[in-house]
Each structure stands twice: as C-alpha cells, then as structure tokens.
Amino acid sequence: MGDKPRGTAFPLLGITEYVHGSVPRLDTVPPDQSHCPAMVDAEAGLEAYRLLLARMEAVALAPDESRDFIHSLIADR
C-alpha cells in the first residue's frame, strides 16, 4: 500500500481510486442541460458564472425582504 491514501469508489465493480498530493482549486459548475451531463471547469466559463451570480445577488431581495414580499402577495389574494 505504501503511503498513498486509498479509497474505493465502486467496490462492487473493483474500481479503486488513489489520491495523494496537493489538489488544485476544485471549482466546477454543473449547467442545467436536458440532453447530457456536463461540467464547466475552464476559468473563462467559471468567471462567466461568477459574474452572473454576482449580478443576481446584487438585485435579489434579502431573505427578510423576500419573505415579506411573499406574505404581501398572499395577503393581496
């Protein structure tokens, strides 16, 4: 075995995964797709998602404001 950590990903299939050493920044985005799974991990694609999320956070209501807004909609029914 040596000094390598060992982890079995799929024990019934006999697939063993060995991991050791430093791990680079793990940053991925799973975009919503109906036709196939995909992950965005290129820095340019990740930066586009970060910018999109920052813009949404900038215009989103705070949790208390969001709750009050929903309650106001229910009260208007």
Q: What is the pLDDT of residues 45-57, one digit of tens each?
A: 888 888 998 999 9
Q: What is the pLDDT of residues 24-34, one digit of tens each?
A: 666 777 777 77
Q: Residue 27 and residue 75: Cα distance in Å, rounded?
A: 42
pTM for the model stands at 0.50
Phi, psi of 17 (to 5 degrees): -115, 125
Q: What is the pLDDT of residues 11-25, one digit of tens each?
A: 555 555 556 666 666
Q: Residue 63 and residue 69: Cα distance in Å, rounded?
A: 10
State whether residue 18 is helix, strand or coil.
Answer: strand
